[in-house]
Amino acid sequence: MSVEGTSQAGARPDVAPAAAAPAARQVKKIRRLPVQKDLPLGVTIAIQVGILVAAIALWQAAADRGWIDGFFWSRPSDVYATLIKFFTAGDAWTDIEYTFGSTILGFVLGTAAGSLLGLSFWWSRNYATIAQPYMICFHSLPKLALAPLVILIFGLGLASKVAIATALTIIVSALTTYAGVKALDTDQERLFYSLGASRMQVFRKLVVPFCLPWIISVLRVNIGLALTGAIVGEFIASQHGLGRAILYAGNTYDIALVWVASLVLSTLAVAMYAAVSWLERILRQGIKQ
């Protein structure tokens, strides 16, 4: 606080000469550095929970009093009852397992194949140049629009969902990994060659470890994309899965079930995102060692 006093005292003599010679210098407005104070963590969480509770309460009250149509909007009490039923009498676990399975399979396949594809461009500049337009075309293509075709080719089972999830993830991984390959310092390569390295040695000891951060950086994006792919596959045609549950509930006007399945799906998404973030952190530490 004493600092404040001195800065004011220091400002005053500054103002005086400026006022004496107004033509030469404009009087400056005195401003303070804007300071933001952080709320304590407990208060932040309390506010967050409060907003959620208030929203649910408002929803319930609105539906009960007829402000909104309870048939189309459903209401929290119905959603809760359906949630219990979904897990006890319904096939919640089968659906979760199905969606989870196709997402993870698509994620792993797409990320692995995409990374390998991106790395492979290091081996030949000609090959990379020839492949470029195809990569960009495939990247800008709305792949979900091709989903009905994928279902026709791969059938109604898990394979078609995995295929869509893979299609969505593979290109992102490939392009990002290729960006890593392009960022490689040519001097670094020259150093390896000056030490008499073979191309395989340069690839294994330089290119792969150098590109790893790029490969890892897409993991979190890819898990979300893989889930989207799996859900869209289920929307189009499927026997199981959370996506299919949502579509089915919507078609039969079981709005509470739409909410329940969406809620479970979001939880699954958050869980997978957290798991991948954790994996990413472990891998990053692994690289350093």
Partner 1 sequence: MTFNMPAGPFAALAPVTLAIPQGRFISLIGPSGCGKSTIFNIVAGLLQPSGGRVFIDGVDATGTIGRVGYMLQKDLLLPWRTVLDNVILGMEIQGVPLNAARERALPLLRRYGLSGFEYLYPNALSGGMRQRAALLRTLLFDTDIMLLDEPFGALDAQTKSHMQEWLLQLWGDFGKTVVFVTHDVEEAIYLSDQMYVMATRPGRLVETIPVPIERPRQRTVTLSSEFIAIKERCMRLLTEAHKSALEEAA
Integer Cα distance of 284 and 286 in angstroms: 5
The DSSP code sequence of 187-209 is HHHHHHHHTT--HHHHIIIIIHH
Integer Cα distance of 269 and 99 in angstroms: 10
Stretch that binds partner 1, among 51-59, 140-148, 201-209, 251-259 (CB under 8 A): 201-209
Which residue of 5, 22, 66, 196 would you call a contact of partner 1, by CB under 8 A?
196
Tell me if 185 contacts partner 1 by CB under 8 A. Answer: yes
Tell me if 200 contacts partner 1 by CB under 8 A. Answer: no
Tell me if 227 contacts partner 1 by CB under 8 A. Answer: no
Integer Cα distance of 247 and 52 in angstroms: 26
Stretch that binds partner 1, among 65-73, 161-169, 191-199, 241-249 (CB under 8 A): 191-199
DSSP 27: P
Tell me if 281 contacts partner 1 by CB under 8 A. Answer: no
C-beta of residue 215 within 8 angstroms of C-beta of residue 177: yes
Integer Cα distance of 148 and 160 in angstroms: 9
Q: Residue 245: how many CA atoms within 13 Å on its side-chain side?
A: 27
Two structure tokens written together for 285 = 């530490």
Q: Taking the mean position of all CA atoms in its chain, how far away is CA 200?
A: 34
Tell me if 207 contacts partner 1 by CB under 8 A. Answer: no
Q: Residue 193: how many CA atoms within 13 Å on its side-chain side?
A: 7
Backbone angles phi, psi at 212, to 5 degrees: -55, -45
Tell me if 188 contacts partner 1 by CB under 8 A. Answer: yes
Least distance (Å) between residue 59 CB and partner 1: 51
Which residue of 205, 239, 253, 281 would you call a contact of partner 1, by CB under 8 A?
205
Tell me if 282 contacts partner 1 by CB under 8 A. Answer: no
Task: Name the residue with tokens 């290729």.
Answer: 178
Which residue of 112, 135, 197, 221 would you call a contact of partner 1, by CB under 8 A?
197
Nearer to partner 1, 80 or 210 (CB): 210
Least distance (Å) between residue 4 CB and partner 1: 40
Nearer to partner 1, 188 or 266 (CB): 188
Stretch that binds partner 1, among 28-36, 74-82, 111-119, 202-210 (CB under 8 A): 202-210
Q: Which residues bind partner 1 (CB under 8 A)?
A: 185, 187-188, 190-197, 201, 205-206, 209, 212, 287-288
